[in-house]
């Protein structure tokens, strides 16, 4: 039977001069996700060592329901989705580029 798990990778670039704002936001999102979102298997931001403006988000969820609940919590906390981006405006604002890639979990 196929897994119901959902995984994604996000590639984000901070706006010039906003690198530390993005770093603090990434830490806050990681902490709040682990504390508040049931169904989260893995959620971690990475920051490139050779370019402090580049971040990568790797997340895995038990199922689509858990991911949708996570997104609803983010919208409640950070506002409605930004135009053209699936993230709330309060999260998207300090980033210049946001790109997410959906992944299939290989078993």
Question: Residue 53: what pLDDT?
Answer: 98
Over 80: is that where the pLDDT of 16 sits? yes
Q: Report the C-alpha gap between 55 and 79 in whole angstroms.
A: 22
> Topology of 6-103 in CATH?
Alpha-Beta Plaits (3.30.70)
Over 90: is that where the pLDDT of 107 sits? no
Angle between helices 64-78 and 19-36 (to 10 degrees): 130
* 70 Cβ contact list (under 8 Å, min separation 6): 33, 37, 39, 40, 61
Over 50: is that where the pLDDT of 1 sits? no
Of the pLDDT bands very low, low, confident and very high (cuts 50, 70, 90), residue 93 is very high
Over 50: is that where the pLDDT of 35 sits? yes
Over 90: is that where the pLDDT of 63 sits? yes
Report which DSSP code applies to 49: S
From residue 13, alpha-carbon distances to 16, 60, 63 in Å are: 9, 21, 27
Q: pTM (2 decimals)?
A: 0.89
Question: Residue 86: what pLDDT?
Answer: 81
């Amino acid at each position: 039977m196929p897994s119901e798990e959902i995984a994604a990778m996000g590639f984000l670039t901070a706006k010039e001069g906003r690198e530390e704002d993005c770093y603090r936001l990434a830490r806050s999102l990681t902490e709040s996700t682990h504390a508040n979102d049931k169904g989260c298997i893995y959620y971690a931001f990475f920051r490139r060592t050779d370019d402090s403006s580049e971040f990568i988000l790797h997340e895995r969820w038990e199922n689509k329901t858990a991911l949708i609940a996570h997104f609803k919590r983010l919208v409640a906390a950070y506002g409605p989705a930004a135009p053209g981006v699936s993230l709330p405006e309060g999260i998207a604002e300090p980033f210049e580029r946001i790109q997410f890639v959906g992944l299939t979990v290989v078993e």
